[in-house]
A and B are shown apart, each in its own frame.
Chain A
Amino acid sequence: MPVVLLVLVVGVVWAVRRRQGGERARSAEVGAVGWAPGTNWRVLAPLARADARRLARHPAFVAGVVLTPLMFSAAMGGARSWWQRSPSMALALVPLGWCTIVAANLLALKPRRAGVDELFAAAPAPQPLRTTALLAGGSVAVAAAVALSAGWLLWSAATLDGAVGSPRLAEIGAGVLIVAGALAVGVAVARWLPHFAFGLLAVFAVTFLQARFMDPTTWPWNTAQAHPGRFLGFLASTTSAGVAALEFRPAGWHAAYLAGLVLLMAAVALARDGVPRPLAAVFAAAAVLVASTGWVQTRPPSDRRVAAMAAYLTDPRSSQRCTESGLTTYCAYEEHRDQVAGWTVQVEAVRALLPPAVAGRRLAVTDRVPTVTGNSACGPKPYLDGVHREVAAAVAPAAVWPEDGQVHPGTDRSACGGLKHDDLFTALQVGSWAVGLPPGPHGLDIRCDAAGQARAVVALWLAGVATPDGARFLRDVAGAEGSGPLTFAGWSDPPMLGAVFHADDVRRAVALLDLPVERVRAVLHEHWAELTDPATPSSAVSLAVSPAGTDPPAPPSPHACR
């Protein structure tokens, strides 16, 4: 496929240049003066201002500016921390970059397209001066990107949307530099391939380059998502690790790398009129900057850094702060401290429904990474695929996800959005703990099968009652899943549960949720030992609460929860 595309591009370039060859005799560039020694560079400032005005009014550029706030809004969806949001803001500036390529390309081609190239060629301002002015006038695009980003940050601050952390300017700066690079690309393409079709082709080419060759998970690399090679792309999105402590993001170096690429592309644009010594120096400086910052970015993490990352996973308490609240200990990573209050509400709501003997047991609620999370393409992906290869090799799954009987709430690490109900699943983990089911998965996402067990229905009922709107959500889940186990297929960030629940049991729990809470609670208290016995079928719950509505017991699963 890439070979076919390459052949196609080379063919089009050859055809256009051949066609232009016939016009060369009439070309205004015959009398070009190039980098003439007597060029009056004082003209640069007014010319750049005039070009900036033209760019600012160009319909393609205006469309990009109008689109950007919408892109910011869309890109922020699901990202709760500025650590995740900042690269997303850079991503949201990409359409402005596309529009800037088109606008800059058309502006650079304007003299030719409008038929004034001969008139301009007879003026004393030579082409290199005009190209430099166009590149300098493109600062209006950079200014627009900065203003839009600043406006969005102010808007976020004014609306108090509760994002964790503070904006990372170097990450957002990557988006601004991408817009600057887009301008240079648009001008360079116009100078070397003077046909507007190549401007459009450039938009596709850079997008293809980023999507195909700058994503380490795709062909031809097929490597880990966290491979540092992704920083050689224009944009390097966060990995599915979703947390700053497990990622090495050399944002400042990446910004310097992009600045080098911008400089390089600007030099390519200017090289159309020859390469005088100062331009050769710019070329060399840009190449050195790109090469050195590229090398710095792609170095593997140090042993110390790998050890710190591994400790984050295997010894979470070393990176967490723990607080006591009643009989529950809550430990959370710094980035999830704000979620402890929500966990407390869920734990206490479930405890309030339990028999006193059970409610009086101590419980540990510990933040830990999920076994499965959404990847950059918003599909479920093993969590360790999103961390550095060296870190993944240094940790054992059983150490990251021990079978510890603790509640490990979902922390919404995926920035993919989609179906989520962390409160409900935290309550379901607490309910699972209460009835003796494993609250969270262990090892490489090992979950036992709770199908047909009465305690599964009890856990689901406890979660449904403890969570506002929980009954409706459980009903939706049961409706979507048919009659088998809940697979959460299509969820970008599937819930972390220690047991596999079945849609039939969810329906039984939903039927109980339709009954008065006090009545069900009283029956559960009275028959707690029997209903939480692994051998008691789920039909027993219905029989105990409402003797008229009973179903035949389901056959036992070979992976049944003990």
Chain B
Amino acid sequence: MTTIELKGVTKSYGGIPALDGIGLSIGPGVTGVLGPNGAGKTTMLRMLATVLAPDAGRLRILGEDPGRVEGRLAIRRRLGYFPQEPGYYQNLSAFDFVDYVAILKEHDDRAARHAEVRRVLEQVDLGAVQHKKLKKLSGGMRRRVIIAQALLGRPELLVLDEPTVGLDPEQRLRFRELVSRLAEQHTVVLSTHQTEDVAALCHRVVVVHGGRVRFDGTAAALAALAAGRVWAAAEPDPSARLSWRTGTGEHRLIGDPPPGSTLVEPTLEDAYLLLLGRAPGAEG
């Protein structure tokens, strides 16, 4: 079953292409979107959230055409969205803020709405601080408030743009648990820089770079791209495509085997870096 369908979707900002003929079909489960900064991930997710229109191409979300007003409304009624840079009403409590969003999401019955707001706040473990003003909550807690609002009404499609930034490890694990549970019945599109999150959560990974899809497959298939090309050695090797010193003092090398090195099991991150030709910490 296809929830999202993109065919030849393009989008440019001032003549610079952000998406260059993207084609994808996304179904239920968690789809991770990986890519360096400026790759076009956020542009794509904003389109999926119906807040941005493509310049050209075909886009179908939940069977609706977001190019039509009625289609956009229908999609929004079944959508949960976590924008890349979510803002807050600092002087509202977590409860009041999520309640306000719930009204915007057409939860017009007060009692049912309040129960729903409490439910989503409990889901992100904010029940105890729901009446605290947002300005008094930590950055991680505030992001959980935004996650909570995205869960309102058990949306069929969750579009999450870097939701785990700023979450502590425990909260990231809780988030993974939550998303994996939701993904049993719904479609989740998750953009992130955290390859661990993708490895842990996503049944499918899409790597976007330069406005194009560079990889589309399972996490295991992505990791397999680096099979037989990741090595551990005592010394750095200038001829390696990528190399870096790890916390154990060893050097991890990607490319042809240097002398005295041993083959190691590749990770998703190794494969991602190999695909993009970057070293850890390098920004695109």
Q: A33 contacts B83, CB within 8 Å?
A: no
Nearest chain B CB to A154 CB, angstrom units: 33
Q: B73 contacts A115, CB within 8 Å?
A: no
In the complex, residue of chain B having the shortest beta-carbon distance to the beta carbon of A46: B103
Q: B72 contacts A31, CB within 8 Å?
A: yes
Q: A122 contacts B51, CB within 8 Å?
A: yes
Number of interface residues of B (CB under 8 A): 38
Q: Could you say which residues of chain B place their CB within 8 Å of the CB of A31? A: 49-53, 66, 72
In the complex, residue of chain B having the shortest beta-carbon distance to the beta carbon of A120: B104
Q: A119 contacts B106, CB within 8 Å?
A: no
Nearest chain A CB to B162 CB, angstrom units: 14
Q: How far is the CA of A37 from the CA of B69 in the complex (A)?
A: 9
Q: Which of B76, B79, B104, B149 has the most CB of A within 10 A?
A: B104
| Interface status of B87 (Cβ within 8 A of chain A) | yes
In the complex, residue of chain A having the shortest beta-carbon distance to the beta carbon of B110: A46
Q: Could you say which residues of chain B place their CB within 8 Å of the CB of A116? A: 86-89
Q: How far is the CA of A111 from the CA of B86 in the complex (A)?
A: 11
Q: How far is the CA of A78 from the CA of B49 in the complex (A)?
A: 62
Also in contact, A50 and B99, with CB within 8 A (given A123-B76, A125-B105): yes
Q: How far is the CA of A111 from the CA of B13 in the complex (A)?
A: 24
Q: How far is the CA of A123 from the CA of B80 in the complex (A)?
A: 8
Q: A119 contacts B87, CB within 8 Å?
A: yes
Q: How far is the CA of A124 from the CA of B72 in the complex (A)?
A: 8
Q: How far is the CA of A396 from the CA of B66 in the complex (A)?
A: 77
Q: Which residues of A from 89 to 132 have beta carbons under 8 Å from B? A: 110-111, 114-126, 130
| Interface status of A40 (Cβ within 8 A of chain B) | yes
Partner of B73, one of A111, A119, A124: A124
Q: How far is the CA of A241 from the CA of B86 in the complex (A)?
A: 60
| Interface status of B85 (Cβ within 8 A of chain A) | yes
| Interface status of B174 (Cβ within 8 A of chain A) | no
Q: Which residues of B from 1 to 55 have beta carbons under 8 Å from A? A: 13-14, 46, 49-53
Q: How far is the CA of A80 from the CA of B101 in the complex (A)?
A: 52
Q: Which residues of A from 478 to 525 have beta carbons under 8 Å from B? A: none
Q: Which residues of B from 199 to 225 have beta carbons under 8 Å from A? A: none
Q: How far is the CA of A130 from the CA of B105 in the complex (A)?
A: 12
Also in contact, A110 and B89, with CB within 8 A (given A122-B50, A123-B104): yes
Q: B52 contacts A124, CB within 8 Å?
A: no
Q: Could you say which residues of chain B place their CB within 8 Å of the CB of A123? A: 76, 101, 104-105
Partner of B49, one of A25, A46, A47, A122: A122
Q: How far is the CA of A40 from the CA of B74 in the complex (A)?
A: 11
| Interface status of A260 (Cβ within 8 A of chain B) | no
In the complex, residue of chain B having the shortest beta-carbon distance to the beta carbon of A118: B83
| Interface status of B146 (Cβ within 8 A of chain A) | yes
Also in contact, A119 and B103, with CB within 8 A (given A31-B50, A37-B70): no
Q: Which residues of A from 33 to 57 have beta carbons under 8 Å from B? A: 33-34, 36-40, 42-43, 45-47, 50, 57
Q: Which residues of B from 59 to 106 have beta carbons under 8 Å from A? A: 66, 69-70, 72-74, 76-77, 79, 81, 83, 85-91, 99-101, 103-106
Q: Could you say which residues of chain A place their CB within 8 Å of the CB of B66? A: 31
| Interface status of B108 (Cβ within 8 A of chain A) | yes
B residues lining the A interface (CB < 8 Å): 13-14, 46, 49-53, 66, 69-70, 72-74, 76-77, 79, 81, 83, 85-91, 99-101, 103-106, 108, 110, 113, 146, 149
Q: A31-B66, A114-B87, A125-B104 are in contact. List 4 more A-B contacts (CB 8 A).
A: A57-B91, A120-B101, A124-B73, A125-B106
24 A-B pairs within 8 Å (CB atoms) are namely: A25-B14, A31-B51, A34-B69, A36-B73, A37-B70, A42-B106, A42-B108, A43-B106, A43-B108, A50-B100, A114-B89, A115-B86, A115-B88, A116-B86, A119-B86, A119-B146, A122-B50, A122-B76, A122-B81, A122-B83, A124-B73, A124-B105, A125-B106, A130-B104
